[in-house]
Chain A
Amino acid sequence: MAVLLLAEINDGALAMDATAKAVSAAQPLGEVTVLAVGSSAKDAAAEAATIAGVAKVLVAEDALYGHRLAEPTAALIVSLAGGYSHIVAPATTDAKNILPRVAALLDVMVLTDVTAVVDADTFERPVYAGNAMQTVKSKDATKVITFRTSTFDAAATGGSAALEDVAAGENPGLSEWIEDKVAESDRPELTSAGIVVSGGRGVGSEEDFAIIEKLADKLGAAVGASRAAVDSGFAPNDWQVGQTGKVVAPDLYVAVGISGAIQHLAGMKDSKIIVAINKDEEAPIFQVADFGLVADLFQAVPELTEKL
């Protein structure tokens, strides 16, 4: 049993938290080889080599992999797939783009958002927006898996795996990168933050979202949003928490002006402590909240920010 793990690398930087969580998820499956792909990947590879439990790091550094386009990256992974029983990655939008393509090229199914490893063939994953947990056993020769990072602890560092260069693969030449629109922020990253403060439609406008951001900054938290808040233009798409957005499980999640639709709960109900602030006492969010406060957010949130 051997595992090939696609490291999460953005613009040459290793996403340590996501990658280390995938390493710990993959550990029971066999010896873990990390694959670092990018136009600059050497530094990220060296960092990945320090994750405890990593046996080897393959480095594919080439301009071809500049923006991790699915077609060349999937082709590379398939060319390296022989000898691995499992091909895995953290369940980021990057990996969700690439790994199903890899699986189909290998004529196997893909298992996405896996939350537990039962044995080398058997895995648990949520379905129906987390309203059911399915245990599935794969009959495929190669298992292709993305791991939901919010349910695994990050592997420790302190390792010193060897690095090995691999040559770039073919370029299918089907797609071309044009631009990235990435908002720079000093806040912690949403999926690895210890505290998340999220705002919903109740916040009412993009300007008023500043109330949410101020509370988040006071707590050193990341900012999240409901779909309604994103659709209404109060918050950018990458803040969406939920079934079809990001899944988070921080120590503290504060939901403000969010009703608690199942699609939102799917993305945050595994948080350790949930606080809900909503003016409607009937709001379903209170059913999952450890501490609920029925109040107008425009009064309660600034007061909370002040008193913390």
Chain B
Amino acid sequence: MKVLVPVKRVIDYNVKVRVKADGSGVDLANVKMSMNPFDEIAVEEAIRLKEAGKASEVIAVSIGVKQAQETLRTALAMGADRAILVVAADDVHEDIEPLAVAKILAAIVKEEEPGLVICGKQAIDNDLNATGQMLAALTGFAQATNANTLEVDGDAAIVAREVDGGLQTIKVTLPAIVTTDLRLNEPRYASLPNIMKAKKKPLDEKTAADYGVDTAPRLEIVKTAEPAERAAGIMVGSVDELVAKLKDAGAI
């Protein structure tokens, strides 16, 4: 069984985001970009399935600017076997919407016929949490979002999902789409020898047009603004003072 892992190149989670003064968006020029953290978890899970003999090949896919090949090299260094880069934008500020991403991924699924697609649950830039579910709709596959544990068992997968009330375990028929939550695993770091080896692994380059997908956005970004600032607070010197302040403020 092949496992397909879509990985997105996003602003590094440690970088402080700056909104551009003209309200046109967030400044992504010269900031550190990394693999979306949920996608690192997805790559790790796919590699573990291969190591356990449940997957035959791990294919990483990224859709975006040309530089997303760095993200794919990271996936290859972690242990993915090959990668597909779909160039769909020239400028990093151009974000491809989940619907278009899902359409491209659906076309790749048709070509590659993976038994499992493991996406992240959410891209930490647009915070949409949509692509995996949309891909499941377009392929007509089952979906198991927010995976806390994943177990492949013959032609099905058992997934414990992180939900509002706790954990929900479901069984999905393969092929299926799974999205990762934070507790699924702890991703490995790529070792130096593996980073070197990754340079020789195959990385195919395609365009959105190769898959006949129109990536024109459905949502027009009218403006991007800074969030409201909180008024400065005060430091208290003791628990007694804290209790008094809370009483004054009517909070307790």
Contacts and interface: CB of A to CB of B under 8 A. Distances in A.
Interface of A: 10, 67, 69-71, 74, 92-94, 96-105, 107-113, 122, 125-140, 172-183, 191, 219, 227, 230-231, 236-238, 243-244, 246, 251-252, 262-263, 269, 272-275, 281, 286, 288-295, 300, 303-304, 307-308
Nearest to A253: B251
A176 B170 contact: yes
Given A122-B222, A269-B230, A290-B249, 8 more contacts: A104-B134, A110-B134, A127-B224, A175-B142, A180-B167, A181-B167, A252-B251, A294-B235
A112 B128 contact: yes
A290 B236 CA distance: 10
A70 B143 CA distance: 7
Interface string B222-245: 111111001101111111101101
23 contacts: A67-B168, A104-B135, A127-B26, A127-B126, A128-B124, A131-B17, A132-B227, A133-B225, A133-B226, A134-B221, A135-B225, A172-B142, A174-B173, A174-B176, A180-B168, A243-B124, A244-B182, A246-B164, A263-B13, A289-B233, A292-B236, A293-B238, A295-B239
A3 B233 CA distance: 41
Nearest to B230: A288
B234 to A, nearest CB: 6
B29 interface: no
B109 interface: no
Most buried by B among A128, A180, A252: A128
Contact of B173 (A109, A175, A237, A304): A175
A262 B125 CA distance: 13
Contacts of B130: 100, 103, 110, 112
B236 A291 contact: yes
Given A132-B224, A175-B172, A183 B166 contact: yes
B210 interface: no
Contacts of A246: 164
Contact of A175 (B17, B129, B171, B224): B171
A101 B225 contact: no
A74 B235 contact: no
Most buried by A among B134, B146, B161, B245: B134
A112 B145 CA distance: 15
